[in-house]
Amino acid sequence: NYFLLSSSMDKTVRLWHISRRECLCCFQHID
């Protein structure tokens, strides 16, 4: 598996491609 999800206090969730060290997408949430 080459993907990782991370969450942050800035209310974003990021989808990372690990081997490329690249953020593929950034989602914002209100919760």
**Averaged pLDDT, 3-12:** 96
**Averaged pLDDT, 13-21:** 97
Q: Which residues contact 26 (CB under 8 A, 6 or more apart)?
A: 12, 13, 14, 15
Q: Tell me, what's the pLDDT at 8?
A: 95
Q: Tell me, what's the pLDDT at 29?
A: 87
pTM of the model: 0.77
More confidently predicted of 6 and 29 = 6
Q: Is the pLDDT of residue 22 over 80?
A: yes
Q: Which residues contact 21 (CB under 8 A, 6 or more apart)?
A: none
